[in-house]
């Protein structure tokens, strides 16, 4: 029984050596090389400066009231007697109009920056598609570099049963 195990081990070792003996390197003729191209998007940002329109402040009566009171007080300081009443009335009217305009005037326009991403598609080479012939058979494989006129091939010879 011990001899059977030894014989099997020797047979396996010989088979392994024969299998490795059937591997060798050779060269194949290159018949076509085409660049492999891929499309790549490299977007970039574009920004535009634009003057923004400031919205007018929505009115209330606060500006008119404060302007009217201030105008009336100033008018009362100017006139004498019945003229004082008239100056107060005119001052109140002018102050109310001025206060309303100040309150409802448009604000300062601030520059606005509008930014957006823009696609930038580019073709980029990503290796080569190489067609080569070995022993009458044609093969095509992608390769990182152009191999030239020949390409090395690894050949494995095995018995078929």
For the full predicted model, state whether its pTM sits above 0.85. Answer: no
Q: Which residue has the higher pLDDT, 32 or 74?
A: 32
- Give residue 146's pLDDT band: very low, low, confident or very high (50, 70, 90): very high
The pLDDT assigned to 65 comes to: 72
Question: By the 8 A CB rule, do 87 and 79 touch?
Answer: yes
Mean pLDDT comparison of 21-25, 38-42, 59-63, 78-82, highest-scoring range: 38-42
Mean pLDDT comparison of 21-25, 34-38, 66-70, 156-160, highest-scoring range: 34-38
The crossing angle, in degrees rounded to 10, of helices 62-78 and 82-104 is 150
Average pLDDT of the segment spanning 140-147: 96
Residues 144, 155: Cα–Cα separation, whole Å: 21
Question: By the 8 A CB rule, do 116 and 46 touch?
Answer: yes
Query: Quick one: what percent of the chain has pLDDT higher than 70?
Result: 55
The pLDDT assigned to 155 comes to: 93
Residue 43 CB partners (closer than 8 Å, separation 6+): 117, 118, 119, 120
């Amino acid at each position: 029984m011990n001899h059977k195990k030894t014989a099997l081990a020797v047979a396996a070792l010989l088979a392994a050596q024969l299998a490795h003996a059937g591997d060798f390197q050779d060269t194949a003729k290159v018949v076509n090389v085409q660049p492999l191209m891929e499309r790549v998007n490299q977007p970039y940002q574009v920004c535009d400066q634009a003057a923004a329109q400031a919205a007018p402040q929505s009115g209330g009566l606060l500006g008119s009231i404060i302007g009217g009171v201030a105008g009336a007080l100033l008018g009362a300081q100017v006139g004498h007697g019945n003229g004082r009443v008239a100056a107060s009335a005119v001052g109140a009217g002018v102050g109310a109009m001025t206060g309303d305009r100040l309150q409802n005037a448009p604000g300062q326009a601030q520059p606005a920056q509008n930014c957006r991403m823009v696609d930038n598609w580019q073709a980029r080479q990503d290796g080569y598609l190489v067609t080569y012939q070995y022993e009458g058979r044609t093969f095509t494989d992608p390769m990182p570099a152009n191999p030239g006129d020949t390409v090395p091939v690894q050949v494995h010879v095995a018995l078929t049963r």
